[in-house]
Structures are given as structure tokens and as C-alpha cells.
Amino acid sequence: MATPPAGSPAEVSEAFRARLASALAPLGFEPRAKGAKLVRKRPRATHRIELSSSYRNRPGDVTCWVTLLYEDEATRAIAPQWVAGGGLGVAPFSRGDDLPSNVADPREAAALIAVVLDRLAFFDVMDDPAAVLTRVSAGYFAGLVDPVRIVPYLRTHLGAEAVRAYARALLGGRQELWPAFAAEPPGSGAEDLFGDHGT
């Protein structure tokens, strides 16, 4: 049985952050904010991993939550608050699984690092607009689920026809959404159709 790391919850969190930063350094991520953020810059986007802790942490039970965020400069030019991603284990990343989170347990800490490394594929897909269109047209793409996030990205990188292709795929798979779209006035751009999705 592995020995739990010694120290206060803050020290355990700091040690985990350092361990994760070490695992991600070869992939181009740099620690910021004392390791609470790990950032990788790309020519047109920023890949950001943010770590947060529970205020209920105590010795032997130190929760760490992980958030993946994708910031695209071109999309933010037309939608300034735009960001894709979110917390692992919750919408829009939830896969219905229970993520390891107690980094005071060496096995859970190692498992959480493995999950983060696995989910980095999200950034790879986001860096490829054609791949994003394929994924969102085939079904829900973890990290980019809401049309209000998908449409500006597709419009920016692939144009209005990509938005129309996504709209056709969405409505083909979600027939119950058609009534909201049937009332759209003639000539509405597909990029404007998604503001009321989910209401």
C-alpha cells in the first residue's frame, strides 16, 4: 500500500501541482500562479489547465479539481467572452464517470494525472477546425457542447457553410429542436439560429 504524502493539505496540493507540471512540461505547458495554472501558447490559441482545491480539505483527504480551457484569439475577436472547455467530470466534460480527486492518496493522484494527459486530446481537436466540425456534427464533443460556443468558432474558422452543416447535423439528430427553428424568418443566417437553444 502506497504511503500518503506527508504535510498539510496546502503542502499536498503544492506537491501535486509540481508533479503535474513536471508531467506536462515536455508537452509545452508552463506553470503560472504558483502552479495553480498550466499554460501552453499556440500561434492562435492558448491551452489552459487550472487547478483548484476544496475548502474542506483535511489531512489525508485533499481534493483537486481540474479545468481545461481553450481560448481562441480569432473567435474572441467576434465573441470577446468566448472560451471552450470546463471542469473535468462536470458539464461539458462529464462522461458519467467518477474522476479521481483525492491527491493525498498516491494512487488517486497518479490516476488524476493520467486522466489529464488523456483529456489533452481535447486541445488537439480544438486546434483543427475541420476536426471540430466533424466531431460536433457526429454528436456531443466533450468540452464543446453548447451551440452558443460551437457556432462562433465554426463561423470564424470555416465560414457560414460550416455552421449550416452543423445545424443540419444537430437538427437531424435532435428532431425535437425543429419547432424552435421553424419559426425563424426567411433569410436568417444559420449563425444566428442558436441563441435560444436549450430554453
Domain ranges of the chain: 9-125, 128-192
CB atoms within 10 A of CB 162: 24
Sort strands 84-87 and 30-32 into parallel, antiparallel or unpaired: unpaired
Residue 187: per-residue pLDDT = 44
pLDDT in tens, 55-107: 899 999 999 999 999 999 999 999 999 999 999 988 788 776 689 999 999 99
**Phi-psi bin for 9: left (phi > 0), alpha (psi -120 to 50), beta?**
alpha
**Is the backbone peptide bond immediately before 92 cis, with ω within 30 degrees of 0?**
yes
Q: What is the pLDDT of residue 90?
A: 85
The CA radius of gyration of the chain, in Å to the nearest whole number, is 20
* Model confidence, pTM: 0.84
Distance CA 26, CA 33 (A): 19
Q: Which residue(s) pair with 38 in the sheet? A: 31, 49
Per-residue model confidence (pLDDT) at position 182: 55
Confirm if 87 and 47 have CB atoms less than 8 A apart: no
Give the three cell numbers for residue 134.
Answer: 466533424
Q: Which three cell numbers stand for residue 41?
A: 501558447
Residues of the chain with pLDDT under 50: 1, 185-191, 194-199
